[in-house]
Amino acid sequence: MRNWMRWTGILATGIFVLGIATFHVEATPVVFWASDPIRPGETAMIMGEGFGDKPTVNVVRLKDGRSSAPSEKGLAWPVDGAKVEVYQANDNSVKFGVPAGLKPGVFAYRITGPAGQKIGLLNRPQVWWVQGDVGPSASPGGWMRAFGKCLPPPSAASAERRGAKRTTCSILLRGPRTLTLSAEADGYSARATLPANVPSGEYQVFLHAGFGGDAAWSAPVALTVQAVKPWPQKVFNVKDFGAEGSGAKDDTSAIKTALARAEENGGGVVFFPRGRYQLNDALTIPLFTVMRGEKREWVNLLWPDMQDPPPVLVKGTNSFGLEDLTFYCSNYKTFFAAGTKGEESGNVFLRRLRVRADIYRGHMNPEEVDRRYRAGLGGFGGGYWLATLGGRNVEVTDCDLYSQAARSV
């Protein structure tokens, strides 16, 4: 009985080992990663498994244009693929040159090893993730952005010399309704506006950069489209509440009154015409309220140097925004804070802001410099923090932000 069990175990082990060896020999090449974007005349590196020590590589540029929808058929190898020089090769990586005589675009490559062939694409658009105007989702009439690479692939050198940095590509949405959008792209992101009548629901997003034909649509990623309740748009002009905007008079009371009226309205736009607005206390922004300046370069909000500044100069809970404003402050602890925990956070945007928060501004004596420096060593409780933000759908775009410690969470 024992001998039978022993020989059964040996036989099973032998079959298992033989199975592994047979699988390794018969496996076709697999690609894990490719080094694109890439231009003609550059070296491509492909990493994977099963290439062998002496693979051959063929490369061809795919014809341009696109179909109205991604093809579900696999790429058929073109008959005119040229054999290229392989610089380095082993079972896990291959390096080869993309012929310099080809035009920029999407390139197909074929690696042939002892176990078979693998066909892949270089410069095919890749979308890693998308975001919308309401964070992970987009709203009808709002916008969406796709982030990845080869959006589009590298352009011709002549176009680069002309300074062409942005181009147009196509985004296909497939879901409750199928539609194609024109998007503005810069190589690593693409942005498009959704029609106001697009139905809510779950969509698949595909992107095509105009190169490579049917095979060059990106793999799909998911996007949720959902309608959102618009914030109130009633405007509360701070000058209507007594703000002077000269920089010489304290406008804190007038600005706080405008914010209070917006809160009574359930939200709105607190508007700052051109001017310099002096403050001596913190500002609290109500829900669904936007503080908006006429233009970032035209509107300044400033706090003169305070010996004992409030814990936060500009704060709110959630669902508010700041845009087109410039802020100046000297001694401070935290410049900006929004709710950072649970449901009491998120839906906050900072757009086109300039902040200059410098605790050492001016001609102070060494003792004061030392005192402020030591205060800044106190971590989160001691300051100096530029911003504390948290929650979903937090947006910071086109801002020029400077703080003494340049810290934010």
pLDDT, tens only, 125-138: 999 999 998 888 99
- Residue 384: is the preceding peptide bond cis (ω within 30°)? yes
Strand order in the sheet with 43-49: 30-34, 43-49, 93-97, 86-90
d(CA 284, CA 77): 63
Assign 28 to helix, strand or coil.
coil
> Percentage of the chain surpassing pLDDT 70?
84
d(CA 178, CA 169): 17
Those residues with Cβ within 8 angstroms of residue 49's Cβ, 6 or more apart along the chain or in another chain: 27, 29, 30, 32, 91, 92
- Each residue of 66-123: pLDDT tens digit? 667 787 777 778 777 889 999 989 999 999 999 999 999 999 999 999 889 999 999 9
d(CA 245, CA 237): 12
Asked whether residue 380 carries a pLDDT value surpassing 60, the answer given is no
Q: How far apart are the first and last CA of the chain?
A: 68
Among candidate residues 353, 374, 258, 239, the one with its CA nearest the CA of residue 296: 353
Once rounded to an integer, what is the mean pLDDT over residues 185-190?
Answer: 91
d(CA 124, CA 151): 8
- Each residue of 342-362: pLDDT tens digit? 557 788 999 999 999 887 766
Q: Mind listing the domains of the chain with CATH numbers?
A: 11-122 (2.60.40.10), 126-225 (2.60.40), 235-403 (2.160.20.10)
d(CA 339, CA 345): 4
Q: How does the average pLDDT of the chain come out, rounded?
A: 85
CA 300 centroid distance within chain: 29
- Each residue of 292-304: pLDDT tens digit? 999 999 999 999 8
d(CA 109, CA 95): 12
Residue 260: predicted pLDDT = 97
Give the β-pairing of 400-403 and 137-138: unpaired
Residue 10: predicted pLDDT = 44
d(CA 39, CA 110): 17
d(CA 219, CA 145): 16
- Each residue of 206-222: pLDDT tens digit? 999 988 888 899 999 99
Q: Cβ of 342: how many Cβ atoms within 10 Å?
A: 9
pTM of the model: 0.71
d(CA 11, CA 5): 10
Those residues with Cβ within 8 angstroms of residue 340's Cβ, 6 or more apart along the chain or in another chain: 388, 389, 390, 391, 409
Once rounded to an integer, what is the mean pLDDT over residues 148-152?
Answer: 91
Length of the chain: 409
- Each residue of 51-67: pLDDT tens digit? 999 999 999 999 887 66
Those residues with Cβ within 8 angstroms of residue 286's Cβ, 6 or more apart along the chain or in another chain: 259, 260, 262, 263, 267, 316, 320
Residue 405: predicted pLDDT = 58
DSSP for 239-259, please give it.
Answer: GGGT---EEEEE-HHHHHHHH
pLDDT-derived band at 157, boundaries 50, 70, 90: very low
Determine the residue type at 345.
S
Q: Give the H or E element holding residue 11.
A: helix 2-26
Least confident of 82-91, 241-250, 385-394: 385-394
SS3 content of the chain, % helix, strand, coil (to 5): 15, 45, 40
Q: Measured between alpha carbons, how far is residue 145 from residues 142, 148, 175, 194, 282 in Å?
A: 11, 10, 17, 11, 35
Token output for 378: 């106190």
Least confident of 160-164, 215-219, 261-265, 345-349: 160-164
Token output for 380: 């989160």
Backbone angles phi, psi at 109, to 5 degrees: -125, 150
